[in-house]
Amino acid sequence: MKLNAHEIEHRLADFNELLRAKGLKVTQQRLVIFRALQESHGHLTAEQVHGAVAKDNPTLSLSTVYATLETLVEIGALAEITMDDGKKLFDRTTSAHHHFVDIDTGAVSDLEDSDAIKLDLKSLARKGYVIEKARVTVYGRAKK
């Protein structure tokens, strides 16, 4: 899902604050990489981020994009998810949520609250586990 321009600006303002709070410089490359995720449908590989920023930032290398994405994950500005095929995606939504993968196109989207999956994790609690996160990936394809 695409965010509107107002929401993107709001997220960029929060991101500026987060960088400062973490003692990191607000650099052009951090801003353009964070913005690329906000302007996307929400989930991109490092290569896709690089592709999105390369036109306006020809000096930004793929390895710099990788390193910057890792930094943004470390400070909690982005999340990183690993799909079943081993592909790593960077996710602009950092709170716990579930995903839908279109098998035919590979497109990954967040499941809306209305599609909420209720997990019964009580049995794990009874076994003495404390749940830290639970992430479900649903796979499907468009009806033909």
The three-state secondary structure class of 35 is helix
Residue 45 in contact with Zn ion, rule: CB under 5 A:
no
Q: How many positions of this chain bind Zn ion (CB under 5 A)?
A: 3
Site string for Zn ion, 83-122 (x = CB under 5 A): --------x-x----------------x------------
Rounded distance between C-alpha atoms, residue 74 and residue 105, angstroms: 29
Tokens of 23: 């003692």
In whole angstroms, the minimum distance from the beta carbon of 92 to Zn ion comes to 8
Identity of the residue, 64 or 109, whose beta carbon is nearer to Zn ion in the bound complex: 109
Rounded distance between C-alpha atoms, residue 51 and residue 66, angstroms: 12
Residue 37 in contact with Zn ion, rule: CB under 5 A:
no
Total Cβ atoms within 10 A of residue 10? 13
Binding site for Zn ion (CB under 5 A): 91, 93, 110
